[in-house]
């Protein structure tokens, strides 16, 4: 029971981190100091997506699920939990690289707006 709870906590942490990577720039518009947390998270998240790496939280969750007697999933967090919702036909390497580029470009736009606000204010 404890391993299942720990696996679920790792999954929740992973989901929150992914959400922060994607939307943290918008939070930085609200509280500028969050940029110091978001930029390293963005760099890590973009690298993981673009390079096709597996986040260390994915195998940790898999080990905990195995210890809990649950079936392991195959692939990374995005492939297992978000693939069907976002990409019903499958996640290709090209799509991963496009996602990374869109993530960086979108956040560049947000941080450009943050810089402009800072210069005006």
First to last CA, the chain: 53
Region of residue 75 (left: phi > 0; alpha: psi -120 to 50; beta: else): left
pLDDT tens, 20-62?
Answer: 999 999 999 999 999 999 999 999 999 988 888 888 988 898 8
> Is the pLDDT confidence value at 83 over 60?
no
Residue 3 predicted with pLDDT over 70: yes
Share of the chain above pLDDT 70, in %: 83
Q: 65 near 10, Cβ under 8 Å?
A: no
What is the extent of the structural domain holding 28?
A: 2-120
Confidence of residue 76 (pLDDT cuts 50, 70, 90): low
pTM: 0.76
The pLDDT tens digits of the residues spanning 14-25 come to 889 989 999 999
Residue 64 falls in which region: left (phi positive, over 0), alpha (psi -120 to 50) or beta: alpha
> Strand, coil or helix: what is 31?
coil
Total of domains in the chain? 1
Cα–Cα distances (Å) from 28 to 21, 77, 105, 109, 114, in that order, read 11, 25, 16, 12, 8
């Amino acid at each position: 029971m404890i391993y299942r709870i720990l696996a679920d906590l790792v999954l929740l942490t992973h989901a929150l981190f992914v959400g922060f990577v994607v939307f943290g720039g918008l939070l930085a518009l609200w509280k500028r100091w969050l940029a110091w947390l978001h930029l390293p998270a963005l760099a890590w998240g973009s690298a993981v997506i673009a390079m096709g790496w597996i986040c260390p939280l994915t195998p940790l969750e898999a080990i905990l699920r195995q210890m809990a007697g649950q079936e392991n999933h195959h692939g990374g967090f995005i492939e297992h939990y978000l693939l069907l919702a976002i990409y019903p036909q499958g996640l290709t390497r090209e799509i991963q690289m496009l996602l990374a580029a869109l993530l960086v470009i979108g956040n560049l736009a947000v941080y450009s707006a943050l810089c402009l606000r800072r210069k005006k204010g």
